[in-house]
């Protein structure tokens, strides 16, 4: 009952070109049937994400550990609420990040859970920068 | 099922079979001479009602499966085509979908009856636990069945429920992948749910056989909770119980038919008429009503794992009921305190169900926590404690004594009335909050529709005018992909002749092919063709309309709704009001205003609409006075256009509505006469036994 060969093959890594995404914008791509949010964060969003006391978070994780160093403006997260799997809405909620309309979980500009029933941060998918404007997810 | 039978058929051929397979003896001893307590009330007919519903679900389900396609791209369409094109497909689907709700309604009554009369107590523990297993299997079956139409609520319900298992430590994620057969809910998930949805009802049937077997070994409990002692305490199953059950089933069918023929979408969710879309979450994910109390428990507990454990223990705890409640007296009739706590428990369950449908905010969360505590307290604190401190009233010596005495306690109706009133008051208080919240948005005004009510029919003139409005205005952006030109000439529709529908079709250019050279080509439409969509795919529609794809209109009047709130949704059941969708569509068409009220900001490229949720709609004002010329002298105003096109779209959403209401009326006449006959037969049969 585990995924069959064709499903696994279709889940191969994908490349995404980041050059059209302006600062403050984000795009949603699908990988393995899951929505991946790629946010081009503003200076304000980065500062907000780094100003918070990490130890006070429900799922403590520094912003630096969630992005690739040298590409700090890019946040890549799986857009599936860690509560019960709804898709959060970008640029909503009180933390300049994501807001889940189902049960009211709120994530900050680093995709970390700040408020609501979700137990964990939005997961970061495996990815790396192929060039400065291109990433490979998977 | 209760020991060897001495039944001997008189026919020699039957005797020959009986010597080799004593099946008639089995039936005879289990369902004919089987002694049944003579003081059973109508709450005991729900066993027969449930058997009937199980048979009904299996029968309709097997036929539906012949027309259904379990594929993520085709499932939604196959269900729509089933309803539109298969002979009496709409009836089969309504019977199956409403049947699930009726099945759960009956099982809840059956369980509460067992709870009230102590039917789980010695020697019926195994019987009760088998019942809990049947209930668990029913929940799994109902959930997977709801996924099959592959609408938005199907998809997101499946996502939320399968994700419950990810709360299990260490192995949770792998279990979820195993359930999905992929990396998210998708085609493999739909396939395996279809397979299991077909399998589980037969497992249920198997456990039902065990349940009935255990029942016939231990014997039925009864309202007085004293075991039958002499022959005077019982009556033979046939004809006494059979005819009484028959009357019970007939009355139940009246309720069932009310839903099938008059309120088929009352218990469903409008969002499930929107095809599943993995990229868009509905703002409010709600399970079917029969899961709501458990959903409320899940959401009341702030920790994810604890929430899931809480939800499942709310059901599993029922298995331990025979040992949690150690009171010797079975029936709550003789337990003054247990009786009152029972009714409080019923109220707690209903309120939890109400909360399960509300958004998880503010007062609802707190109320949910209090009621979750009350739910568990009933089993873990109240029942064990009562069995120690309560002083029950004396029970009658035997069933026949109870039947003869039959003074009846007058306090039961009073207690239950008081609790029901308190419950209504509490719901009212909750709805006041609703009403306040809704003042922000504007409710669509009600309209007088020709198709409303039990004798509703479509106004042919409005359908024809609405078709014209659709063709000249809406069709430039909106598709109508489930409607074929041939439908225009079908009974219950706009009333065109086949020749008129053919002529109408030939005005359209339909893409066909490939031809022998391998090229696609265009040809004039034929009656069998469907209305062509204005855009080749959703992305093209989105790109051409500033990012918002115009929805297909085939089902729009059923796919849009608005919350009616308490107490309206209760009145709606009796008035058969179900025109939220048409009211909303007509209101949006007329709700455009130039002047944006203060405090509302409309982004560039959007327009202000009074009735659209959030008020910012991407569609510009589509209708203006005089835009479409009517040939029949009807006023060429926006109000008239809106009304006509909404009537037309109600027909496209439900082309067989007239047949549904007409057949419904015939079925009701039949059922009322049948139930009356059953009642008088029952009276005659029982005349000597009371």
Residue that has been written with the tokens 């306690």 in this structure: B409
Distance of CA B255 to the CA centre of its chain: 13
Q: B55 or A101: whose pLDDT is higher?
A: B55
| Contact assignment for B183 to A33 by CB distance below 8 Å | yes
Please provide residue B86's backbone torsions phi and psi, each rounded to the nearest 5 degrees. Answer: -70, 140
B501: tokens are 């529908």
Query: In percent, how much of chain A has pLDDT > 70?
Result: 100
Query: Would you call B283 an interface residue with chain A, using a CB distance cutoff of 8 Å?
Result: yes
Q: What integer pLDDT is reported at residue B438 of this predicted model? A: 43
Q: What integer pLDDT is reported at residue B542 of this predicted model? A: 84
Lowest average pLDDT, out of A18-27, B401-410, B479-488, goes to B401-410
Question: Mind telling me how many Å the CA of B359 is from chain A's nearest CA?
Answer: 8
Q: What integer pLDDT is reported at residue B472 of this predicted model? A: 95
In the predicted model, is pLDDT for residue B131 greater than 60?
yes
Alpha carbons B527 and B425: distance in angstroms, whole number: 56
- Tell me the C-alpha to C-alpha distance, in Å, between residue B105 and each of B52, B102, B489: 13, 5, 40
Query: Would you call B299 an interface residue with chain A, using a CB distance cutoff of 8 Å?
Result: yes
Residue that has been written with the tokens 């309709």 in this structure: B60
Query: In percent, how much of chain B has pLDDT > 70?
Result: 94
**What ipTM was predicted for this assembly?**
0.73
| Contact assignment for B160 to A86 by CB distance below 8 Å | yes
Please provide residue B641's backbone torsions phi and psi, each rounded to the nearest 5 degrees. Answer: -55, -45
Coil, helix or strand for A74? strand
Would you state the torsion angle of the CA atoms of residues A10, A11, A17, A21, taken in this order, to the nearest 10 degrees? 110
If we measure between CA atoms, which residue out of B269, B309, B360 comes closest to residue B558?
A: B269
- Angle, nearest 10°, between helix axes B172-180 and B152-163? 150
B255: tokens are 């309720």
If we measure between CA atoms, which residue out of B70, B42, B207 comes closest to residue B140?
A: B207
Cα-based angle B616, B622, B624 (whole degrees, multiple of 5): 120
CB B617 within 8 A of CB B607: yes
| Contact assignment for A104 to B183 by CB distance below 8 Å | no
Within 37-96 of A, beta carbons closer than 8 Å to B belong to 83-87
- Nearest-CB residue to B302 (from A11, A84, A117): A117
CB B392 within 8 A of CB B329: yes
| Contact assignment for A85 to B183 by CB distance below 8 Å | no
CB A7 within 8 A of CB B188: yes
Long-range interactions of B603-610: CB distance < 8 A, separation 24+ = B605/B546, B610/B442
Kindly indicate whether the domain formed by B460-663 is annotated with CATH number 1.10.760.10.
yes
If we measure between CA atoms, which residue out of B34, B211, B3 comes closest to residue B127?
A: B211
Task: Kindly indicate the confidence band of residue B420, based on its pLDDT and cuts at 50, 70 and 90.
Answer: low
Could you read off the pLDDT of B158-216 as tens digits, one per residue?
Answer: 998 998 898 889 999 899 999 999 888 999 999 999 999 999 999 999 999 999 999 99
Q: Identify the CATH assignment for B34-87+123-285 out of 1.10.3720.10, 1.20.810.10, 3.30.230.10, 1.25.40.10.
A: 1.20.810.10
Mean of the per-residue pLDDT values of chain A: 87
In the predicted model, is pLDDT for residue B621 greater than 50?
yes
Coil, helix or strand for A118? coil
CB B3 within 8 A of CB B29: yes
CB B474 within 8 A of CB B645: yes
Could you read off the pLDDT of B437-484 as tens digits, one per residue?
Answer: 343 457 898 899 999 999 999 999 999 999 999 999 999 999 999 999
Mean of the per-residue pLDDT values of chain B: 90
In the predicted model, is pLDDT for residue B632 greater than 60?
yes
Residue that has been written with the tokens 């012949």 in this structure: B66
Q: Does residue B29 have a cis peptide bond before it, meaning omega lies within 30 degrees of 0?
A: no
CB B640 within 8 A of CB B626: no
CB B110 within 8 A of CB B46: yes
Q: What integer pLDDT is reported at residue B412 of this predicted model? A: 52
Please provide residue B235's backbone torsions phi and psi, each rounded to the nearest 5 degrees. Answer: -130, 155
Alpha carbons B318 and B386: distance in angstroms, whole number: 17
Could you read off the pLDDT of B495-514 as tens digits, one per residue?
Answer: 999 999 999 999 999 999 89
Quote the radius of gyration of chain A (alpha carbons, Å). 15
Task: Kindly indicate the confidence band of residue B410, based on its pLDDT and cuts at 50, 70 and 90.
Answer: very low
Question: Mind telling me how many Å the CA of A65 is from chain B's nearest CA?
Answer: 23
In the predicted model, is pLDDT for residue A96 greater than 50?
yes
If we measure between CA atoms, which residue out of B559, B552, B561 comes closest to residue B444?
A: B561
Task: Kindly indicate the confidence band of residue B417, based on its pLDDT and cuts at 50, 70 and 90.
Answer: low
Please provide residue B524's backbone torsions phi and psi, each rounded to the nearest 5 degrees. Answer: -65, 150
Please provide residue A25's backbone torsions phi and psi, each rounded to the nearest 5 degrees. Answer: -100, 165
CB B478 within 8 A of CB B551: yes
Mean pLDDT (whole number) for B130-146: 97
Could you read off the pLDDT of B72-98 as tens digits, one per residue?
Answer: 999 999 999 999 999 999 999 999 999
Question: Mind telling me how many Å the CA of A82 is from chain B's nearest CA?
Answer: 9
The domain ranges of chain B are 1-30, 34-87+123-285, 295-389, 460-663
- Nearest-CB residue to A33 (from B186, B307, B361): B186
Query: Would you call A36 an interface residue with chain B, using a CB distance cutoff of 8 Å?
Result: no
**Residues near B389 by beta carbon (within 8 Å), at least 6 away in sequence:** none
Q: What integer pLDDT is reported at residue B651 of this predicted model? A: 97
The domain ranges of chain A are 25-137
Question: Mind telling me how many Å the CA of B174 is from chain A's nearest CA?
Answer: 9
A131: tokens are 């060039």
Lowest average pLDDT, out of A99-103, B165-169, B341-345, goes to A99-103
Mean pLDDT (whole number) for A32-55: 89
Search chain A and give the residue with CA nearest B181: A3
In the predicted model, is pLDDT for residue B436 greater than 70?
no
Quote the radius of gyration of chain B (alpha carbons, Å). 29
CB A93 within 8 A of CB A106: yes
Tell me which chain A residues have a C-beta less than 8 angstroms from the C-beta of B163. 83-85
Active site residue A103: yes
- Nearest-CB residue to A3 (from B159, B181, B302): B181
Query: Would you call A138 an interface residue with chain B, using a CB distance cutoff of 8 Å?
Result: no
If we measure between CA atoms, which residue out of B273, B240, B292, B237 comes closest to residue B560?
A: B273
Task: Kindly indicate the confidence band of residue B546, based on its pLDDT and cuts at 50, 70 and 90.
Answer: confident
Task: Kindly indicate the confidence band of residue B432, based on its pLDDT and cuts at 50, 70 and 90.
Answer: very low
Kindly indicate whether the domain formed by A25-137 is annotated with CATH number 2.102.10.10.
yes
**CB neighbours of residue B588 within 10 Å:** 22
Task: Kindly indicate the confidence band of residue A53, based on its pLDDT and cuts at 50, 70 and 90.
Answer: confident
Please provide residue B35's backbone torsions phi and psi, each rounded to the nearest 5 degrees. Answer: -75, 130
| Contact assignment for B304 to A83 by CB distance below 8 Å | yes
């Amino acid at each position: 009952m585990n995924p069959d060969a064709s499903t696994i093959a279709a889940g191969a890594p994908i490349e995404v070109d980041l050059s059209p995404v302006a600062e403050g914008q984000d795009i949603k791509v699908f990988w393995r049937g899951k929505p991946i949010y790629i946010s081009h964060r503003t200076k304000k969003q980065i500062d907000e994400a780094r100003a918070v006391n990490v130890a006070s978070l429900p799922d403590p994780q520094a912003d630096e550990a969630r992005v690739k160093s040298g590409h700090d403006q890019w946040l890549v997260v799986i857009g599936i609420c860690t509560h019960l799997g709804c898709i959060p809405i970008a640029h909503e909620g009180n933390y300049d990040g994501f807001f889940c309309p189902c049960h009211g979980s709120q994530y900050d500009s680093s995709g970390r859970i700040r408020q609501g029933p979700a137990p964990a941060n939005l997961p970061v998918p495996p990815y790396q920068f192929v060039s400065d404007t291109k990433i490979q997810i998977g | 099922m209760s020991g060897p039978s001495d039944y001997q058929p008189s026919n020699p051929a039957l005797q020959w079979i009986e010597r080799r397979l004593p099946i008639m003896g089995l039936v005879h001893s289990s369902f004919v001479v089987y002694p049944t307590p003579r003081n059973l009330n109508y709450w005991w007919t729900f066993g027969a009602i449930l058997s009937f519903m199980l048979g009904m679900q299996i029968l309709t389900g097997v036929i539906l499966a012949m027309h259904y396609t379990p594929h993520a791209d085709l499932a939604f369409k196959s269900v729509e085509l089933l309803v539109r094109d298969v002979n009496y497909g709409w009836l089969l689907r309504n019977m199956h979908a409403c049947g699930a709700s009726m099945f759960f309604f009956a099982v809840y009554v059956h369980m509460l009856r067992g709870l009230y009369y102590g039917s789980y107590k010695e020697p019926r523990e195994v019987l009760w636990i088998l019942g809990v297993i049947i209930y668990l299997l029913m929940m799994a079956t109902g959930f997977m069945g709801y996924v099959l139409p592959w609408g938005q609520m199907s998809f997101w319900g499946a996502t939320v429920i399968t994700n419950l298992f990810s709360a299990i430590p260490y192995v949770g994620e792998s279990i979820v992948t195993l359930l999905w057969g992929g990396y998210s809910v998708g085609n493999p998930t739909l396939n395996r749910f279809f397979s299991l949805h077909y399998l589980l009802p037969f497992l249920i049937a198997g456990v039902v056989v065990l349940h009935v077997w255990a029942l016939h070994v231990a014997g039925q409990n009864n309202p007085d909770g004293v075991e039958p002692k002499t022959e005077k305490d019982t009556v033979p199953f046939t004809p006494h119980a059979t005819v009484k059950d028959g009357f019970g089933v007939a009355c139940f069918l009246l309720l069932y038919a009310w839903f099938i023929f008059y309120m088929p979408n009352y218990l469903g969710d409008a969002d499930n008429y929107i095809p599943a879309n993995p990229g868009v979450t509905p703002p409010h994910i709600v399970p079917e009503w029969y899961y709501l109390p458990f959903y409320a428990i899940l959401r009341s507990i702030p920790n994810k794992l604890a929430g899931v454990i809480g939800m499942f223990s709310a059901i599993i705890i029922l298995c331990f009921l025979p040992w949690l409640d150690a009171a010797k007296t079975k029936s709550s009739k003789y337990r003054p305190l247990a009786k009152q706590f029972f009714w409080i428990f019923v109220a707690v369950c209903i309120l939890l169900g109400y909360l399960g449908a509300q958004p998880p905010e503010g007062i609802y969360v707190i109320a949910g926590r209090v009621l979750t505590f009350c739910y568990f307290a009933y089993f873990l604190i109240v029942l064990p404690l009562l069995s120690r401190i309560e002083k029950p009233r004396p029970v009658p010596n035997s069933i026949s004594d109870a039947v003869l005495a039959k003074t009846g306690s007058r306090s039961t109706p009073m207690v239950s009335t008081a609790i029901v009133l308190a419950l209504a008051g509490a719901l009212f208080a909750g709805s006041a909050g609703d009403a306040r919240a809704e003042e922000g948005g504007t409710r669509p005004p009600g309209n007088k529709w020709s198709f409303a009510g039990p004798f509703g029919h479509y106004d042919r003139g409005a359908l024809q005018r609405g078709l014209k409005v659709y063709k000249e205005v809406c069709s430039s952006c909106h598709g109508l992909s489930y409607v074929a030109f041939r439908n225009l000439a079908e009974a219950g529709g706009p009333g065109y002749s086949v020749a008129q529908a053919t002529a109408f079709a030939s005005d359209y250019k339909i893409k066909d092919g490939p031809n022998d050279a391998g090229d696609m080509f265009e040809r004039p439409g034929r009656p069998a063709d469907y209305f062509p969509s204005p855009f080749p795919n959703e992305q093209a529609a989105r790109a051409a309309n500033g990012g918002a794809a115009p929805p297909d209109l085939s089902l729009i009047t059923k796919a849009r709704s608005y919350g009616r709130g308490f107490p309206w949704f209760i009145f709606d059941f009796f008035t058969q009001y179900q025109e939220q969708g048409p009211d909303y569509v007509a209101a949006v068409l007329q709700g455009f205003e130039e002047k944006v009220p203060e405090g509302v900001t409309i982004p560039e490229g959007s327009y202000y609409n009074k009735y659209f949720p959030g008020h910012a709609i991407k569609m510009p004002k589509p209708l203006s006075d005089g835009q479409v010329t009517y040939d029949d002298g009807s006023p060429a105003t926006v109000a008239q256009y809106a009304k006509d096109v909404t009537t037309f779209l109600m027909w496209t959403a439900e082309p067989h509505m007239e047949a549904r209401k007409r057949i419904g009326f015939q079925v009701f006449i039949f059922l009322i006469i049948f139930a009356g006959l059953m009642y008088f037969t029952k009276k005659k049969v029982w005349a000597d036994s009371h």
